[in-house]
Amino acid sequence: MPEPMPLVRGTLDVLVLKTLSWGPMHSFEIIGWLEQRSGGRLNIDDSALLQAFHRMEERGLVTSAWGYTPNNRRARYYRMTAKGRAHLDAETAKLAAYVDTLQAILTATSI
């Protein structure tokens, strides 16, 4: 199993919004999707995720409602709002530019 990587500060909200771009999900689905897509490198803490949901609901980036999982368990489902989509798009562009900058520096072959 790969060594876990800590989340870069400020990225959890963007990662959750990206996950919700596929449609409404409950917290365990989100954690599972992020862990699977990261190859097991990201371990999302339940309490950090709940804090992120609270923060994003207050900012109008997500909404939530109670529902039932496929195996008939009650769960809170989260859905990205239009404001959340705009935030995701803006933050994704910023993160991509940051990664490009780091890549340019780290792959430099001369001064």
E strand or H helix that includes residue 47: helix 46-58
pLDDT value, residue 93 = 97
* Parts of the chain with a pLDDT under 50: none
The whole-number pLDDT of residue 2 equals 74
pLDDT at 9: 81
pLDDT at 37: 93
Q: What class has domain 12-106?
A: mainly alpha
Q: What pTM value is reported for the model? A: 0.88
Q: Are 80 and 62 in contact (CB under 8 A)?
A: yes
Instruction: Please enumerate in sequence order all residues whose Cβ is within 8 A of that of 87, keeping only pairs 6 or more positions apart, or say none.
Output: 13, 17, 59, 61
Question: What per-residue confidence (pLDDT) applies to 67?
Answer: 95
